[in-house]
Structure 1
Amino acid sequence: MNNILCWNIRGLNKARKQQELANFIANHNVSLFGFLETKVKRNALGPLYLRLCNNWCFTHNLVWHKGGCIIIGWKGEEMKVSIRECNSQVIHLEVHPLNGTTFFCSFVYGATAPQERLQLFQQLESIGNHMNRPWIILGDFNCVAGMDERIGHEARFHETTHLQNCMFNCGVHDIKFSGRIFTWSNKRVGQSRVMFKLDRVLGNQHWDDSFNDVEVIFLPEDDYDHTPMLVRFIKAQSGKKLFRFFNMWAHNDKFLDMVKEKWTKPMQGIASYQINQKLQNLKRVFRNNFHTNQTHNLLRETNQQLEQVQNLIHLHPLDPNLTDKESMLLGQIRKLKDYSSYLSRRAKISSIQHGDDNTKYFHDCIKQRRSLNKIHTLQLQEEIKEALWSIPIDKSSGLDGYNSGFYRAAWPIIGPDVTKAIQMFFEDGKMLKAWTITTVTLIPKSTNANTPGDFRSISCCHVLYKCITKLICARLRGVLEDIISPTQGAFVAKRSILHNIVLCQDLDAMAGKIVLLAV
């Protein structure tokens, strides 16, 4: 499907303006548009249609709004549209793209009077109460949803609550957007300039699930006082989906059996290579047996069963069979509700301290430690487990998709092989190339990140690579005091090398004050 356009154009009676918008529609590949506050009378609709969208399908709400408010057009050869509801402030459509997913679309123009605008919110909430399909709302609400959505005119808290409550009750939110933040301006200069965010594009969770490759752009307003809202459907790039292990899988009763079945099969190669291949084989098993949708459906079904059992308990409170079944269902729900780790698997950045270049003496110490590692095998086994357990299970995984939660959950089966592979690294100093691969991920700093400066980068490493690094750091911690001067601030615990620069600046400033006082 092509793009959707919504724009408050404050009058659409002039032929020149109609031609400008027709060119805008063609240039931006628009298939469905909604123009607001058109002020077009019934007798002027014919010429408007011929200039603006000839051979398109066309509708309006002039019957409910005599001043001429909302006009909608769509390409009939690309979609079928059914009008589900129409009144003075909203036209609610069901859109059936010929090649795509059916969705609902509401074009709104909120009344300027607050009491009349409440009727719009009630109508949207009425639609939202029965909405279980993708739904998008576009338009000019004539009010703001936050205290920070005005410049040049102070917003009052009570003015924001109605729209916020409507969004919450409808289950919709702002779709990720770029471009203009403030969508309306009074076009005045200097201190008289006032800017509001009156226009917005909202979507429900079904919309996000069905159209995750959609971008909303608030384009430059040019000579208009409102910015045009363009919804772009971006064609998803085909590619292999990366595997990610989710901690909730470990609570499945069959998890350890699946791991054991694949892990115990004999395999040729060095220890680290065997581990890598076994992890690859397990990916196929997890993909076939664990699907996010299956888990959500199972949780919903279990909750429904629990509700039925609890209803029966209220009728038969002393029935032991019902109470036992309730306990069993609650246990299943607790296992399925391990969504905190599932949802909180966001990438997090950690500050990394960089020190001076390594010295020959530093390398000599490493060589001495290496010989000790070969002797204390049992001690290293405990250190490996301790290092692995020190990595939080909600930390982002490397390219292979396995986080530390997998290693912890499957340790009774995979522990000996993992220990052997890490021990071999400390013996011969060789590491499997797959363990050294690091993925660089961009994390947005703000809600609507758009430019490179709006992102920060983090590095996602293999869990066993992290484990080896922690073991090396633990061994070095005992000798750093002997080879590094205490005056080297970069190696002071919990201190950044930048602190030295700040300290020098403070001392310089204080020295100047002391000189002035002495004079």
Structure 2
Amino acid sequence: MKKNKLDVCGLLETKMLPARIASMHARRLKHWQYLSNAELAHTARIVLFWNPDTVHVTLLASSAQAIHISITCLISHVSFKATFVYGFNSITARRPLWEELRSWNSNHPWLILGDFNSLLSPFDKHNGGAISSYEVSDFSGCCLDIGLRDVNYTGCHYTWSNDTVWKAFSDHSPAVVRLDPYVQGRRSFKFFNMWAAHDQFLGVVSSCWSSSIYGTPMYILCRKLKLLKGPLKELNRLHFSHISERVSRLESQLDQLQTTFQQDRDNPLLLEQDKLLRHKLSSLKFAENQFFRQKIKCQFLKDSDRGSKFFHALMGHNHRRNFIPSITCSNGWTTTSLKEVGDAFVSYYQQLLGTPKPTIPLDRDIIQRGPCLSSHLQGALLSPVSQDDIQQVVFSIANEKAPGPDRYSSFFFKQAWPIVGGDFCAAIQDFFHTSWLLKQKVLSKILASRFAQVLHEMVSPMQNAFLGGRYMSDNINLVQELLRQYCRKRSSPRCLLKVDFKKAFDSVQWDFLESLLCHIGFPAHFVVLVMQCISSASYSVAVNGDIHGFFSGQCGWLHLVDPGATLFVPFVESHHHGSGCYLSTLWGLRGGECLYDEKLG
């Protein structure tokens, strides 16, 4: 079932009681649904299983020889009737089946499959007694009456052998019916870390990197990375495609060679081939290990583990977890169309990140009552960025972390740094001089590291989130202590506010952030660099492996994982001072008399 990626499976001649069917379902297929015709016989002759994530099945009718269902694919929206048949052994006992099929005849698409225990022509049988026209007339007449035709097939022509040695396995050949090919989105380029271990990897990178390209340093870097994608895809096709199958074939070759070698131990040619195959197999297994580690993003796997059944199970689990077969839209309608599912996500994120909202202008006096940036820290923010700084940031990113929009992981830049490092550093340094950005690489991490160095001077001691040496739990514990036994009679009247920020990183308006950074003393050039990283964002939404939509960002900084938290600190600080002044004006309270909880929701 896993190998053929079945969505509906029919088991015939099960001879299973309902309790045993339920037990098998709980142990083997607990995420699937099932039905049977056990109520029409002492044991179930037909049992159907289906995956509710991909198909919707409705029972139409059932009998001792057939189960009629309606199948709707939740991905392609294709609907059709299906009948699973297990006919009786005698000609007369099968005749109610033919009449039943005639009564279900309709103009809708209809698939009939199973074990009819009958033949359409004498050529469907080999050896044994001769087939008379009487034996095939009922079946062929039914097919003629309802307009059935045999589907094209590959594989075994004879699907059953009259043998008596089958005890643990079925003596029938399974039949797999494929309607349409698996619906899969376009596969975009992604750098796989296993490529870097190949002998030709650095040569491929060097050959592409020697191309003569003219333009700004940022354009040169982006253009070379784009040109490199084609040769890397070809490297993958030649040496890494279907990596697990390559490993299996090489293991079989090694087993055969070792069997031959046992019979001719003194053959130097076989010994050399054995060493060569062992080396190739070791390299392929290492590549397979890297492939699955990157696919499943499992942090607790040891380096000695390999791409085994455990890896495949985790990858399948991730695929099932990430696949979205349907979605309920804002209007209340549920859709299972892949295009409509993608459009719904695009609409949501475009409303969230692609639509600016009006903001209230900042009050400079209120902001400057709080801590602001000193002149010596302003100079530190604008200090030149060295190649060592850039390399340190690149090499600090974990190898399995998600790549950027260009789909190159940090592991690529680490392995190819002697070749690509010069252009990479030139592009980053050019941005800090010109503020011109084409594609964001490690710029946000560099800005975030500099931002973090000055936070301690501009943040009040009450704020604990995102700051080194401070813990959000401190404020929680403080609130619990202040509220403990507050219900005493002699307690003075006080106020406690809890403010939650919905979609905190995504709802901050860019003009508000730019004005805030300027008011608290950040250098104008540094503010330009930050806003360039933020405002250059454009988005597409990846749903079920396909890319949907394209729009420019207008608010928030969902794309900035590293500086997002640090940028949010001054935002909360300004909110703290603004709220304190507002409350003081409204209630005449001193700052210490209002407890303000800044724990983010």
TM-score (norm 1): 0.50
Cα deviation code 1:206-253 (max 9, x no counterpart): xxxxx8xxxxxxxxxxxxxxxxxxxx857736x653011111111221
Pairing 1:59-458 to 2, within 5 Å after superposition: 60=115, 76-77=148-149, 79-80=151-152, 85=159, 122-124=168-170, 236=183, 240-291=186-237, 292-293=240-241, 295-296=243-244, 298-311=246-259, 314-315=262-263, 325-337=273-285, 338-346=287-295, 361-362=372-373, 367-373=378-384, 380-432=386-438, 434-435=439-440
1:360 and 1:340, CA in 2 relative to 1: closer, same or farther beyond 3 A?
Answer: farther
For residue 52 of structure 1, what is the aligned residue in structure 2?
Answer: 104
Are the aligned partners of 1:10 and 1:36 in contact in 2 as well (CA < 8 Å)? no
For residue 36 of structure 2, what is the aligned residue in structure 1?
Answer: 8
More off after superposition, 29-38 vs 46-55: 29-38
AA aligned to 1:48 is E
Residue 399 of structure 1 deviates from its aligned partner by 2.8
Residue 430 of structure 1 deviates from its aligned partner by 2.7
Residue 25 of structure 1 deviates from its aligned partner by 6.6
Alpha-carbon distance between aligned partners in 1 of 2:69 and 2:251, rounded to the nearest angstrom: 54
RMSD, aligned CA = 5.1
Alpha-carbon distance between aligned partners in 2 of 1:254 and 1:309, rounded to the nearest angstrom: 27
1:507 aligns with 2:452: no
**Which consecutive unaligned segments of at least 5 residues does structure 2 have?**
1-5, 11-34, 42-59, 119-142, 300-366, 490-601
Alpha-carbon distance between aligned partners in 1 of 2:471 and 2:298, rounded to the nearest angstrom: 15
Alpha-carbon distance between aligned partners in 1 of 2:191 and 2:207, rounded to the nearest angstrom: 18
Alpha-carbon distance between aligned partners in 2 of 1:57 and 1:294, rounded to the nearest angstrom: 34
Alpha-carbon distance between aligned partners in 2 of 1:320 and 1:235, rounded to the nearest angstrom: 49
Are the aligned partners of 1:251 and 1:336 in contact in 2 as well (CA < 8 Å)? no
2:83 pairs with one of 33, 47, 55: 33
Which one has the largest radius of gyration?
2
Residue 468 of structure 1 deviates from its aligned partner by 2.5
2:457 pairs with one of 471, 482, 497: 482
Are the aligned partners of 2:84 and 2:112 in contact in 1 as well (CA < 8 Å)? no
1:37 and 1:60, CA in 2 relative to 1: closer, same or farther beyond 3 A?
Answer: closer
AA aligned to 1:253 is D
TM-score (norm 2): 0.44
Residue 52 of structure 1 deviates from its aligned partner by 2.4
Are the aligned partners of 2:209 and 2:419 in contact in 1 as well (CA < 8 Å)? yes
Alpha-carbon distance between aligned partners in 1 of 2:279 and 2:434, rounded to the nearest angstrom: 47
Residue 347 of structure 1 deviates from its aligned partner by 7.2
More off after superposition, 418-427 vs 73-82: 73-82
Are the aligned partners of 2:243 and 2:284 in contact in 1 as well (CA < 8 Å)? yes
Alpha-carbon distance between aligned partners in 2 of 1:514 and 1:315, rounded to the nearest angstrom: 93
1:312 and 1:369, CA in 2 relative to 1: closer, same or farther beyond 3 A?
Answer: farther
Are the aligned partners of 2:261 and 2:271 in contact in 1 as well (CA < 8 Å)? yes
Residue 51 of structure 1 deviates from its aligned partner by 1.4
Alpha-carbon distance between aligned partners in 1 of 2:298 and 2:377, rounded to the nearest angstrom: 29
Are the aligned partners of 1:259 and 1:410 in contact in 2 as well (CA < 8 Å)? yes
Percent identity, aligned pairs only, is 20
Larger relative contact order (CA 8 Å, sep ≥ 6): 2
1:425 and 1:78, CA in 2 relative to 1: closer, same or farther beyond 3 A?
Answer: farther
SS in 1 for 2:433: helix
SS in 2 for 1:33: strand
SS in 2 for 1:420: helix
SS in 2 for 1:34: strand
Alpha-carbon distance between aligned partners in 1 of 2:266 and 2:62, rounded to the nearest angstrom: 74
Cα deviation code 1:404-432 (max 9, x no counterpart): 12112211111111111112222233321
Residue 394 of structure 1 deviates from its aligned partner by 1.6
Alpha-carbon distance between aligned partners in 1 of 2:280 and 2:457, rounded to the nearest angstrom: 54
Residue 360 of structure 1 deviates from its aligned partner by 8.9
SS in 2 for 1:282: helix
1:512 and 1:324, CA in 2 relative to 1: closer, same or farther beyond 3 A?
Answer: farther
1:59 and 1:309, CA in 2 relative to 1: closer, same or farther beyond 3 A?
Answer: closer
SS in 1 for 2:211: coil
Alpha-carbon distance between aligned partners in 2 of 1:59 and 1:297, rounded to the nearest angstrom: 32
**Which consecutive unaligned segments of at least 5 residues does structure 1 have?**
64-72, 88-118, 137-210, 212-231, 351-356, 375-379, 436-463
1:293 and 1:348, CA in 2 relative to 1: closer, same or farther beyond 3 A?
Answer: closer
Alpha-carbon distance between aligned partners in 2 of 1:360 and 1:17, rounded to the nearest angstrom: 75
SS in 1 for 2:462: coil
Cα deviation code 1:143-183 (max 9, x no counterpart): xxxxxxxxxxxxxxxxxxxxxxxxxxxxxxxxxxxxxxxxx
Are the aligned partners of 1:395 and 1:403 in contact in 2 as well (CA < 8 Å)? yes
1:373 and 1:37, CA in 2 relative to 1: closer, same or farther beyond 3 A?
Answer: farther
Alpha-carbon distance between aligned partners in 2 of 1:41 and 1:277, rounded to the nearest angstrom: 73
